[in-house]
Amino acid sequence: MSEDPSRAIDSLEATMELCRHFAQDDSEKANIAAVDVLKRRFGAEAAALFYVSGRREHRFCLAGTEFPIGLGEARWRESVSRAQGGPETARFGPWALPVFGGSLEFWISSKLYSSESDVGYLFLGRSSRPWDDQEELALASIASTIAPIVGIRINREREESVRRQAELLLSEKEKRLRSFFEDSRDMIYTANSEDILTTVNAAGLDLTGRAEKGEVLGRPFSALALNAGDREFFLRRIREEGFIEDYEIVLLRKDGSTVFCLETAHTLKGEKGEIIEVQGIVKDISERIKNEGELWKANLELAEANIKLQQTQVIMVQQEKLTSIGQLAAGIAHEINNPVGFLKSNHVILERYTAKLREAWAEARSAAGQAIGAIEAKFDLPFVFSEFDTIFSESADGFSRIMRIIGNLKNFARIDQGSEFELYDVNGGIESSLVVARNEIKYVADTKKSLGELPQVKARGGEINQVILNILVNAAQAIEAQKRPGKGLIEIETALRGDRVRIIIRDDGPGVPQAIRTRIFDPFFTTKEPGKGTGLGLSISYDIIVTKHGGSLAVESEPGEGTTFVIELPVAGPSPQ
């Protein structure tokens, strides 16, 4: 059938008008405008375009309305079934459009084909007259022209919808990841291959005590660590193994405080295995470490207290022993003081009586004459009388020495003083101590004293004497240990230095090696053979001089050049605490 030229021109104009609408409007409203045109151009009472939108919604656009109308899929399929299958165009009726309007007598439909598939269906309806062949041809022509346009628009909308959906999903994922990153209670960071921080979350700022990300990003991670070197170990491990788990690091906050952290991290590597990025999570474990630290500290304190208690017990026992020895010596001195006293007194009387006897003998000799001379010769009396002076003189000296030793022994222990600080004669104390130590010293060393003029100091004399005795005996034992051919020398000097009395005891023994010089005042430290020393003498001495008397006790020594102990005591006694 040939087409009427005027109708062909109408069809062409209708097609152009439709194309203009589609060109001007990207939205689905263009479909409404299209069916408006078709309704007008074809003199229809109703015109509709059924299609499946890009978002897979089943819709139709009705001429004279404002918006596309959605239909359930079943109803939509039922509606278009008249146009589906069969030829390109169809005429049928009566029929009513879904949702709107009443039934119309005559309908014509046309499929919109695009790329071998239906993209939509056009429906035109009227009751005034049936559709003729020319109209059917015109509709088919228009349909074939606009089908690709409608198809492209639907496809574009479909693609747009898929893209929007993908973007939405991506955005949702990113939002979740961003929330996971930013809201994490632990620090999450990334750093580049040079360990320069490139990302950090809010917890990272809290942990490092920074307010702005700019204070952290762009800086090396090591700048946040208490020990920059610890990061080197971390990087070496992560380069070797690609990950690191539960690595402890201490971060230094901006305010100078520290945070103990546990870090787990891994690397992103490039094709050649080079590190592109370090990604890590850093957890604050300060509370745990603080608790552990407190526990360690408590245990260490307990152990220290325990050992001190044990040492104090031993030292007390040792001090008690020393005190007892001093007291024993003083007790013996006191006991022999009285008999020696009357022996000395009797000795003086005996000397006086002997002198009288000698006078009497001289008188008797001059009165009796020759006879007594024989007796005198027989008993060698001139010699006996001449020895009297020597004997009495030597005995008097012996008595004096005994009395001095007794005095020194009594003075050494100072049992009458108790624990009070009283005036004490340092030089006298040295003399007493030398007497007590004489037996230890006399076979191995000579002594040389240079005692200056000193004021009396406020001290517990018995304790100071113990210190001096201890140093003297140590010096003698050190010299003896050398097994040298001759005797050694122990020098004792005293002098007043400001408000302190200085006692120097110097020996020319083997000296103290540098390695143990700092330890000789430690309790139980001894270099003597077993049984010769407890290692408490100098420890107790240090306690007496430094702790109890507020003085000082120092040692100067070089191996092979002897040892010098310097004691200083405040004249006024220890300062009140």
Partner 1 sequence: MALDELLREYNEGHPAGLVGSRRSECGDVVLELSGELEMKAATDIAPLLSAVLHECPARGRLVLDLRGVGYISSTGVGLLSTVMIAAERRSVRLVLLDMPARIRKIMDTLGLLSFFCLEESDE
What distance in Å separates the CA atoms of residue 177 and residue 171, rounded to the nearest whole number?
A: 10
Of 48-56, 123-131, 273-281, 304-312, which part binds partner 1 (CB under 8 A)?
Answer: 304-312
Q: By the 8 A CB rule, do 110 and 88 touch? A: yes
Piece of 62-70, 137-145, 287-295, 446-454 that binds partner 1 (CB under 8 A): 287-295
Is 233 a residue that touches partner 1 (CB under 8 A)? yes
Query: CA 104 to CA 460: how far, in whole Å?
Result: 134
Compare residues 300 and 360 and give the one whose CB is closer to partner 1. Answer: 300
Residue 127, φ and ψ in degrees, nearest 5? -115, -15
* Whether the Cβ atoms of residue 446 and residue 490 lie closer than 8 Å to each other: yes
- Which of residues 43, 64, 70, 229 is near partner 1 by CB under 8 A? 229
Q: How far is the CB of 426 from partner 1 (least distance, A)?
A: 34
Q: How far is the CB of 338 from partner 1 (least distance, A)?
A: 46
Q: Within positions 441 to 500, which residues make up the interface with partner 1, using CB under 8 A? A: none
| Class of residue 537 by CB neighbours under 10 A (exposed 0-12, middle 13-18, buried 19+) | buried
Is 87 a residue that touches partner 1 (CB under 8 A)?
no
Least distance to partner 1 from the beta carbon of 317, Å?
A: 16
CB-wise, 202 or 226, nearer to partner 1? 226
**Using the rule CB under 8 A, is 260 a contact of partner 1?**
yes
243 lies in the site for partner 1, by CB under 8 A: no
* Contacts for 12 with CB less than 8 Å, ≥ 6 apart: none
Q: Is 313 in the site for partner 1 (CB under 8 A)?
A: no
Cβ atoms 113, 148 nearer than 8 A: no
Task: Spell out the alpha helix ranges (H) of 369-380.
Answer: 370-378
The reply on whether position 248 binds partner 1 by CB under 8 A is yes
Pick from 9, 307, 332, 377 the residue near partner 1 by CB under 8 A.
307
CB atoms within 10 A of CB 510: 19
Window 489-518: residues binding partner 1 (CB under 8 A) = 513-516
Min separation Cβ 234 and partner 1, Å: 9
Task: By CB under 8 A, tell whether 209 contacts partner 1.
Answer: no
Nearer to partner 1, 319 or 527 (CB): 527
535 binds partner 1 (CB under 8 A): yes
DSSP string, 182-197: HH-SSEEEEEETT-BE
Which residue type, as a one-letter code, is found at position 572? A
Query: C-beta of 534: minimal distance to partner 1 in Å?
Result: 10
Nearer to partner 1, 303 or 362 (CB): 303
**Which of 528, 452, 539, 461 shows the shortest CA–CA distance to 493?**
452
Q: What is the DSSP string of 228-256?
A: HHHHHHHHHHHHHHSEEEEEEEEEE-TTS
What is the DSSP secondary structure assignment for residue 425, as one 8-state letter? -
Q: Angle of helix 370-378 relative to helix 381-413, nearest 10 degrees?
A: 50
HEC readout, 96-153: CCCCCCCCECEEEEEEEEECCEEEEEEEEEECCCCCCHHHHHHHHHHHHHHHHHHHHH
Query: 4 or 301, CB closer to partner 1?
Result: 301
Nearer to partner 1, 150 or 235 (CB): 235
CB 172 → partner 1: shortest distance, Å?
A: 40
Residue from 268, 300, 355, 377 that binds partner 1 (CB under 8 A)? 300
Instruction: Name the site residues for partner 1 (rule: CB under 8 A).
Output: 226-227, 229-230, 233, 246-248, 250, 258, 260, 289, 292-293, 296-297, 299-301, 303-304, 306-307, 513-516, 522, 524-525, 535
